[in-house]
Amino acid sequence: EVILLEKKLEEEEFKYRQLQDSHSKSLQEQSLQETSQHQLESKERNLRDKLKQLEEELAAKDELLKRKTSDLNKASQKHYQLEQELAFYKIDSKFDTLKEAPNLHLESADESSDFQESPYIGRARFRVNKYAQETDISVRPQKAHMINIGKSFSDNQAFQHSQEEHTKTDIEKELNKKQKELQKTEEKLKALQSDLWRTESMLRNATTALKKIATDRFTPESFQVDNKYKLPQILTKKMQKVNEMRDTATQMESEIDRTQAILVKNTNGLQKLKSQLAAMDINSSLHASKEKDIVEKESQVNRMKEKMNKLQQELENSKNALAQETADIKNLEEALSIDQNEKNVEVHHELDDIITGLTVYLENVKSESQNYKQEVQMLIQEKNSLEDKIQHMESNLVKLEIETKNSKIMQRRLAELEDSLHRTEEAKADAELRSSQNQELQNRLDRAENEAKQLKQIIKENQIKMEADRKLMQNQLKMERERADKMTQKIQDVKQQELETRKILSQLESAKALNAGLKDQVEEFKHIQQTEESSFRPSELKSKLTKFTHEFKTNKNLIQPESKNDVLGLAFQEVQKHAQEQMNSSIMEIEKLKKYNEKIEEENKKLASELNLLKNNLEKDKNKKGGNPVSIVYRPDPESESGGDKASSLNSDEKQLFDELQQELLELKRFMRLHESHLSKKVLEAETEAHHWKDEMNQKEKQFESEIEEYRQLSELMREKQEARIQVIAQDLDQAQFVADALQSLLETKEKALSEEFSTSGIKNQMISAQEEELVKLYDILEKQRDEIENLNQMLDHLAQQGPDGVGIGFDDELWHIRQEVNNLKETLAMQSAYVQAMPSVGHIEVQTNSQDASDNHPRNETHIFM
């Protein structure tokens, strides 16, 4: 038994090492995933920083655009004001030819300066005509000449402004037209986008319909009555039913195991109650309650037995039904293998017609979508050109604003020149009145005329500069357009980066989900470890019992439990502590009694030495007096009376001392006897307690051994059942592997037939290509299913090697999960085999080529029918 226990211990240590290795591997994987997660988070931060920078740049550019738009609005308002001022300036210049001055008394107090609000409608300024007052007739021709100079200059300006207004109106008309065109193009874009969305939805619906046709084929009315067509459907239903029945059978087995375990516990409880009742007195008060408990337990046991019988009957019925269903499945498979050469020609014709119609419709939709995309691109180009023209118009407005500013400066200069001319006129008039020609005044006039000519030249130069500025502005506009293109490219890049960030975020979320799953797995693993530590293993319990009993008997080392959940170790530790405390207290009392005895012995020795001294003194006194003691005769003489009193007093003192010492000795002896009896009683009590503890230990050992045997029996039963389940699952997996091999051989025969047909005919039909694609897909699915079968086999081997002790609590759940996966695999393989067997053969494809050629002549009608 010790060797077996050691072997079991070694096996459990090996399992524990394996668990530790798997735990370390999971920790390594977790660390790798954490590093990858940190990297992804750093990438995400960088992308967020880039996005923030781009958003800040966009915000700055938006602010610049807002400022520019506000400046444009202000410039347009100023332009409007200047136009009004020019118009009313022309009106004022016309009224300047008259001699009448405006009535200054009618003006308000605010309109006294040169820059006042005009009495006309609008925002033009009113200029006071200082020189349109009463003067002499001699002055008139000179004045008229000077006014004509100003008038000609003002006419030139008016002509320029009229040209600018004309160009502005033309530009506004063009702008309105372009805006209308933009609106139309936007409407067209929206319509095209809606059409695209509809076509995409139609395409999606068509693809879903194709998939449904591929998976769920509609049985025509002619074949609905035929049982051969319904065979694969019946087979799949039967397979599903068999899997459900197997699941119910496994559930029934698990319920039977549970009820059996409960029955064993109840029977053990009944036996214990009966043994207790046999040990108890009949007259005791607990006897009746115990009898009631026994009756209740017996009723529970009977119920559980009835339940067990019912469950076993149901299990047998389900097994019989399973056997019948499996026989039916075998018959159906044989029927399918016999009837696999029969064809469904009409259904395949209909499918070919639908597929050709769909292909034609898809090509039409693709061509329409390409046309729509081209139209959209054209509209986008037109929109960009219109936006460029708008920017050009805005630049023209800016130039006009600059010209208006220059015109203001020129107006001020003209006003100064007119003032100087008026002064010269006054000087000339004074000179003519005095009839004295002054050359200086003539020189001044010449200078004024020269200055006027110079001003005209300056105006021309300014116009040339304006044209040069316009060219520069056009170049700047081109540069800005290039910048705008770059900005659009940047925006597109930003959108792409946003898409990438979204993808990365989705990857991050998936990584986080994986990390959370791994954390859950680690927590489950830790929980399993804790449960393994806290779980009750019968192989370990006996070794622990022997170890703890040996340590308790030898009492060399303190008993230390393995963990907080180690109930046996904690119980032994408490017992050892209690026994040790009692032993220590008894040892302390014995030591105290020994010390007290030593003190009493020392006192006894001292008293004995004192007694010996007294005896010696007495003997010496007797020897001194000599011989026998003298009898004292009492006389009435006073002298004799006094001497006798002295001798009697001496004898009485010695006697008293001797009596006192004897009494003390007797008391000490009594105390010693009492103390010895008390100590002997304590020693007897300690011995009885030790015997009691030993008896309890023996009883607990017996209980533990019986419980260990029960658990061992239960574990053996569970192992046998689990092994049976594993064998059933392994058989199912072998069957699935056999079905997969048969499927592969079927697919290979189909592929060979197709290749032979293609080599003989040399023409590749749509149906042949479709079947080749289907075969490729089926090969891929088969490979995946084989990989799944291998994984399930590995999982089963792992569970069979480690067993429930190695895996832990989740052993049954994992078995159940594998069983469900195997059932699903079998169902899918059955469906695939039915589908492959129902596929048309090579001879049928030749018939379909002719029908396909006939269908190609009328593709439009087919599409119309499909729609």
Q: What percent of the chain is modeled with pLDDT above 90?
A: 1
| Structural domain ending residue among the three candidates 473, 507, 534 | 534
Contact predicate 156/452, CB 8 Å: no
Rounded to an integer, what distance in angstroms lies between the CA atom of residue 533 and that of residue 566? Answer: 8
Secondary structure in 3-state letters for 21-74: HHHHHHHHHHHHHHHHHHHHHHHHHHHHHHHHHHHHHHHHHHHHHHHHHHHHHH
- Model confidence band, residue 673 (pLDDT cutoffs 50, 70, 90): confident
| Complete DSSP assignment for 650-705 | HHHHHHHHHHHHHHHHHHHHHHHHHHHHHHHHHHHHHHHHHHHHHHHHHHHHHHHH
Q: Which of 780, 593, 577 is nearest to 682 (CA)?
A: 593
| Complete DSSP assignment for 581-630 | HHHHHHHHHHHHHHHHHHHHHHHHHHHHHHHHHHHHHHHHHHHHH-SSPP
Q: Which of 836, 817, 674 is nearest to 771 (CA)?
A: 836
Q: Is residue 402 part of a domain?
A: no
| Complete DSSP assignment for 719-745 | HHHHHHHHHHHHHHHHHHHHHHHHHHH
Burial 728-765 (b: 16+ CB within 10 A, else e): ebbebbeebbebbeebeebbeebbeebeebbeeeeeeb
Contact predicate 39/517, CB 8 Å: no
Q: Specify which residues 125 forms β-bridges with.
A: 117
Residue 420 makes CB contacts below 8 A (sequence gap 6+) with: 448
Amino acid identity, residue 583? M
Q: Is residue 446 part of a domain?
A: yes
More reliable by pLDDT, 461 or 376: 461
* Mean pLDDT, residues 98-107 taken together: 47
The helix/strand/coil state of 378 is helix
Q: Is residue 611 part of a domain?
A: no
* Mean pLDDT, residues 103-127 taken together: 43
Q: Tally helices (H) and strands (E) across the chain.
A: 14, 2
Q: How many CA atoms lie within 13 A of 584 on its CB side?
A: 7
| Complete DSSP assignment for 446-462 | HHHHHHHHHHHHHHHHH
CA quadruple 231, 235, 236, 238: dihedral positive or negative? Answer: positive
Number of structural domains found in the chain = 2
* Mean pLDDT, residues 706-728 taken together: 78
Rounded to an integer, what distance in angstroms lies between the CA atom of residue 784 and that of residue 865? Answer: 39
Q: Is residue 764 part of a domain?
A: yes
Amino acid identity, residue 84? Q
Tell me the per-residue pLDDT of 270-283, one tens digit each, with 9 for 90 and over: 888 888 777 777 77
Contact predicate 153/414, CB 8 Å: yes
Greatest C-alpha distance within the chain: 208
CA quadruple 684, 686, 690, 693: dihedral positive or negative? Answer: positive
Of 292-296, 297-301, 370-374, give the lowest mean pLDDT range: 370-374
More reliable by pLDDT, 30 or 807: 30
> How does the average pLDDT of the chain come out, rounded?
70
Tell me the per-residue pLDDT of 454-493, one tens digit each, with 9 for 90 and over: 777 777 777 687 777 777 777 766 776 777 677 667 667 6
Q: Is residue 598 part of a domain?
A: no
* Mean pLDDT, residues 170-180 taken together: 72
Residue 629 predicted with pLDDT over 60: no
Secondary structure in 3-state letters for 67-84: HHHHHHHHHHHHHHHHHH
In the block, tokens 């389940």 appear at 725
Contact predicate 420/448, CB 8 Å: yes
* Strands 125-126, 116-117: pairing kind: antiparallel
Tell me the per-residue pLDDT of 188-220, one tens digit each, with 9 for 90 and over: 777 777 776 776 676 677 667 655 654 554 444
Of 173-187, 355-369, 681-695, give the lowest mean pLDDT range: 355-369
Residue 106 predicted with pLDDT over 70: no
| Complete DSSP assignment for 124-142 | PEEPP-TT-S---GGGHHH
**How many residues does the structure list for the chain?**
867
Q: What percent of the chain is modeled with pLDDT above 70?
A: 60
| Structural domain ending residue among the three candidates 512, 534, 556 | 534
Q: CA-CA-CA-CA torsion for 12, 15, 19, 25, nearest 10 degrees?
A: 150
Rounded to an integer, what distance in angstroms lies between the CA atom of residue 767 and that of residue 351? Answer: 10
- Model confidence band, residue 323 (pLDDT cutoffs 50, 70, 90): confident
Burial 604-629 (b: 16+ CB within 10 A, else e): eeeeeeeeeeeeeeeeeeeeeeeeee
Residue 85 makes CB contacts below 8 A (sequence gap 6+) with: 123, 124, 125
Rounded to an integer, what distance in angstroms lies between the CA atom of residue 606 and that of residue 593? Answer: 20
Amino acid identity, residue 430? D
Residue 751 predicted with pLDDT over 70: yes
* Mean pLDDT, residues 389-414 taken together: 71
Rounded to an integer, what distance in angstroms lies between the CA atom of residue 166 and that of residue 46? Answer: 55
Q: How many CB atoms lie within 10 A of CB 292?
A: 9
Q: Is residue 680 part of a domain?
A: no
Of 215-229, 241-255, 413-427, 449-463, give the lowest mean pLDDT range: 215-229
More reliable by pLDDT, 172 or 306: 306
Residue 844 predicted with pLDDT over 60: no
Helix (H) or strand (E) holding 374: helix 345-434
| Structural domain ending residue among the three candidates 516, 534, 552 | 534
Residue 104 predicted with pLDDT over 60: no
Q: Which of 539, 552, 561 is nearest to 805 (CA)?
A: 539
Burial 508-526 (b: 16+ CB within 10 A, else e): beebeeebeebeeeeeebe
More reliable by pLDDT, 839 or 308: 308
Q: Is residue 256 part of a domain?
A: no
Domain that holds residue 765: 713-867
- Model confidence band, residue 770 (pLDDT cutoffs 50, 70, 90): confident
> Cα 738–744–749 angle (5° rounding)?
130
Residue 783 predicted with pLDDT over 80: yes
CA quadruple 455, 457, 460, 466: dihedral positive or negative? Answer: negative
Q: What is the pLDDT of residue 14?
A: 92
Q: What is the pLDDT of residue 109?
A: 38
- Model confidence band, residue 865 (pLDDT cutoffs 50, 70, 90): very low
In the block, tokens 């199912």 appear at 732
Q: Is residue 507 part of a domain?
A: yes
More reliable by pLDDT, 334 or 828: 828
Amino acid identity, residue 832? Q
**Cα Rg for the chain, rounded, in angstroms?**
61
Amino acid identity, residue 553? K
Burial 411-442 (b: 16+ CB within 10 A, else e): beebeebbeebeebbeebbeeeeeeeeeeebe
